Amino acid sequence: MEQISQFLPFILMFVVIYLFMIVPQQKKAKKEKEFESSLKVGDKIVTKSGFHGKIAELAETTVVIETMSGKLKMEKSAISLDMSAALNKKA
């Protein structure tokens, strides 16, 4: 019984870390994957690097966005869920 009580703080610490750090990160990753799969031509987006544009073409893992200075091809994962949602909320 004494051995279990020695490890109890470590077990509790792991549970707290799991609940407050790992689970929310997994939920966020799942939301981003759903967002990437729901993108369609014509959507206004903002990339994680700050480019604003509209989707011109879609491929399996890449997207071509139309900006004021031309077209850019980038990975779907470079599109920011949070900033794009804020942009579309304003409009």
CATH classification of the domain holding 47: 2.30.30.140
When computed from its CA atoms, the radius of gyration of the chain, rounded to whole angstroms, is: 20
Based on the fold, state whether residues 47 and 28 are members of the same structural domain: no
Low-confidence spans in the chain with pLDDT less than 50: none
CA distance 7 to 26: 27
Quote the domain boundaries for residue 13: 1-38
Taking Cα atoms as reference points, which of 42, 43, 40, 35 lies closest to residue 77? 35
- Which pLDDT score is estimated for 4? 80
* Beta-ladder partners of 58: 63
The two tokens of residue 38 are 């729901």
- Which pLDDT score is estimated for 91? 59
**Residues 54 and 42: beta-carbon distance below 8 Å:** yes
Q: Provide the whole-model pTM.
A: 0.72
Based on the fold, state whether residues 9 and 48 are members of the same structural domain: no
Based on the fold, state whether residues 1 and 14 are members of the same structural domain: yes
Based on the fold, state whether residues 19 and 56 are members of the same structural domain: no
